[in-house]
Structure 1
Amino acid sequence: MCVHGSNNNPDIGQLLEGLPTNWGKWGPDDEVGALNYLQAEQVLRGIAAVRQGRTFTLQIPIGHEKGEPLFPGRRPSMRMNVLDKGHYLAGKAHFDGNVEFSDDVIFMHVQGSTQYDALGHVWYDDKLWNGYDAMSTIGSMARASIVPIAERGVAGRAVLVDMARHRGKAVLDKGETFTHHDLLAAARAQGTAIEPRDILIIRTGWIGSFYEREAAEFYSDFVEPGLTFSRELVEWFHAMEIPNLVTDTMGNEVTVDPRSGVMIPLHAALMRNLGVAFAEVAQLDALAEDCARDGQWQFLYTAAPLKIVGGTGAPVNPLVIK
């Protein structure tokens, strides 16, 4: 991936100067950040939100006939059989007892599907989450990789905020932005509230629209809709102790901040500085339709990304229980 802003844009460090960080809050060796907020009390809050026993999975399909929605610069997954009925018919495979089986392999970006970012995925000033040196990313992520998040897992009360539905749209426009004030207004309109330590799930309709559009149109003038940076928004995330941000976009924020021109500043302000876990490319349409029908926008959210040693992220199939 290679995306650059204008040389006239402010330095990301200058943009975020004076904003809060959680470095050191959970000790010098912490690698899961704000997920530390999800202790037993928060898991039980999630369980208490379950009313119907209905389940929803949020991963997009890998190997869909239309491909996968990918951030520009990433390549589609490639899956191929390495053993199937054809091998037996050609006499290339045999197992005693007349037993046969198939096998396959896949090549893909670890962030090429619904996925969690490692906290060390994005950095500036040569420092990752919690102050780890960016040199630790060379060859493999020695610190703040996806493994600590994967080993811990994610579970807690989550709230879905349907920004597209709130604005009367199937999908937000390219580059369309919203703030935490917009999120709060949309939640009130839904009849729910975002509470401290809630997992925050935001629907824009963007990923779902990938399967309804031509690829050329989807990627032309590529700027995703999403949250837009402000100092007040970062302070709100900090005060609310939000552990996890989940969206149906590839970047969890508008791709280029419209005011500063900086690329993905919330990755730096929220993930790198506050330790907020980012889950991206979630498929939220079916869940949102169900929530709109029954008015239940809060539920138990669980996720366990794959344990990829040294990984910058990992695929995940989050499970929601209403």
Structure 2
Amino acid sequence: MLIFSSMGTIAQEPNKENPITKEVISEWMNELSNWGRWGKDDELGTLNLITPKKRKEAASLVTEGISISLARDISKKATRNNPHPLKQSITLEAWAGHNWASDTYTMRYHGNDYSHIDALCHIFYKGNMYNGFSQNLVKKNGAEKLDIQKMNTGIFTRGILVDMPLLKNVTYLKKEDIIKPEHMVAWEKKTGIKIKRGDVLLIRTGRWSRSKEEGVWNFGEDAVGLHPTMVKWLKERDVAVIGSDGVSDKYPSGIEGLGAPIHQLLLVALGMPLLDNLQLEALAAKAASLNRWEFLFVAAPLRIPGGTGSPINPIATF
């Protein structure tokens, strides 16, 4: 099968005779790079694709006034997929004639449980981050470039849900499943929706339905995710942000020496933020009942100068 690359050349899709290897991913790091596309000092990456016009178009999608949270509850209980649960300490005190309750939170949100957004400084490749910024700019007290603070105006754009279990007529995807561009095309054909420039693309695998039915399993050893060719497709469509009820990467990746090729390609080469561990069940149910797969998507990370990401509560509004 031949695929058209975003650089205007025809490339042979890797297969059993021509598999995707660490070296192939390295080639794609150059081929798919957005470095310099929005200037040598750019720190927004694909968020540049969300223009004022795109925001106004997204706002016009609100016709029902129905909003749905896409975040999971933040757990205070340790599990095999969340070894660093939230620690909460409440202080009760009297001040100025009132009694008050105040919290101190401690959490490590990156991982396979909390709903969060990855900043572009979250992962490195050959000593660099997106747009050629050195990884040495990320220090123990914070990142000096590409930190989550650069996204402080939030994400306000058209959201698209791709419900993979519905497409495949199953309750949830399993370990052997992998998400490819052909599935995106099939979803567009099924729903009549076209995934466009500046969209937030949300892919449901049915992870939480599986957890409800089978119990918690080791997600780090058995996670449904994207085939690396999806990154080429995302670049060609100029998607702004991608999110999933997983982490977009398949675990294990199947690529020797490279555990998270999707994170590497998207964050470093494309400059595309990722939304991990979203709760997409309620969204899928409402979308199916309305037969609507596009909506206004709004999300805003915490304003943390130097942060490598942020817990997040995205909202979809029909």
Deviates more, 1:12-21 or 1:282-291: 12-21
Match of 1:3 in 2: none
Distance 2:158 2:79 in 1: 29
Query: Cα deviation per residue 1:214-262 (whole Å; 9 max; x = unaligned)?
Result: 33xx1177221011112xx33322221111001111x212133335563
Alignment pair present for 1:244 and 2:224: no
User: 1:11-160, aligned counterparts within 5 Å?
Assistant: 11=23, 14-16=26-28, 18-63=30-75, 70=81, 74-83=83-92, 93-95=93-95, 97=97, 99-111=98-110, 113-139=114-140, 140-149=142-151, 151-160=152-161
Distance 1:276 1:283, change over 3 A: same
Distance 2:254 2:44 in 1: 30
Is the CA contact 1:132–1:143 (under 8 Å) kept in the aligned structure 2? yes
Is the CA contact 2:25–2:261 (under 8 Å) kept in the aligned structure 1? no
CA drift of 1:161 comes to 0.4
Of 221, 232, 237 in structure 2, the residue corresponding to residue 235 of structure 1 is 232
Distance 1:282 1:298 in 2: 17
SS in 2 for 1:103: strand
CA drift of 1:318 comes to 0.6
CA drift of 1:12 comes to 7.2
CA drift of 1:67 comes to 5.3
Distance 2:89 2:146 in 1: 32
SS in 1 for 2:316: strand
Q: Which amino acid aligns with 2:72?
A: I
Distance 1:35 1:221 in 2: 29
Match of 2:302 in 1: 306
Query: Cα deviation per residue 1:167-223 (whole Å; 9 max; x = unaligned)?
Result: 1222211352110211221232233221232211111111454455433xx117722
Distance 2:106 2:24 in 1: 33
Distance 1:17 1:308, change over 3 A: closer
Is the CA contact 1:225–1:255 (under 8 Å) kept in the aligned structure 2? yes
Of 276, 279, 283 in structure 2, the residue corresponding to residue 280 of structure 1 is 276
Alignment pair present for 1:196 and 2:210: no
* Structure 1: runs of 5 or more not aligned: 1-8, 84-92
SS in 1 for 2:274: strand
CA drift of 1:28 comes to 1.8
SS in 1 for 2:296: strand
Q: Which amino acid aligns with 2:44?
A: V
How many residue pairs are counted as aligned between the two chains?
Answer: 295
Distance 2:28 2:213 in 1: 37
Deviates more, 1:198-207 or 1:282-291: 198-207
Of 289, 297, 301 in structure 1, the residue corresponding to residue 293 of structure 2 is 297
Q: Which amino acid aligns with 1:245?
A: I
RMSD: 2.3
Distance 1:264 1:221, change over 3 A: closer
Q: Which amino acid aligns with 1:292?
A: A
Is the CA contact 1:204–1:248 (under 8 Å) kept in the aligned structure 2? yes
Distance 1:213 1:242, change over 3 A: same
SS in 2 for 1:314: strand
Distance 1:70 1:33, change over 3 A: farther
Query: Cα deviation per residue 1:66-110 (whole Å; 9 max; x = unaligned)?
Result: 657846xx5111122222xxxxxxxxx54464x322122111014
Is the CA contact 1:116–1:279 (under 8 Å) kept in the aligned structure 2? yes
* Structure 2: runs of 5 or more not aligned: 1-20
SS in 1 for 2:283: helix
Is the CA contact 2:94–2:100 (under 8 Å) kept in the aligned structure 1? no
Q: Which amino acid aligns with 2:104?
A: V
Is the CA contact 2:220–2:251 (under 8 Å) kept in the aligned structure 1? no
Of 249, 256, 259 in structure 2, the residue corresponding to residue 253 of structure 1 is 249
Is the CA contact 2:89–2:104 (under 8 Å) kept in the aligned structure 1? yes
SS in 2 for 1:227: coil
SS in 2 for 1:36: helix
Distance 1:221 1:315 in 2: 20
SS in 1 for 2:221: coil
Alignment pair present for 1:164 and 2:173: no
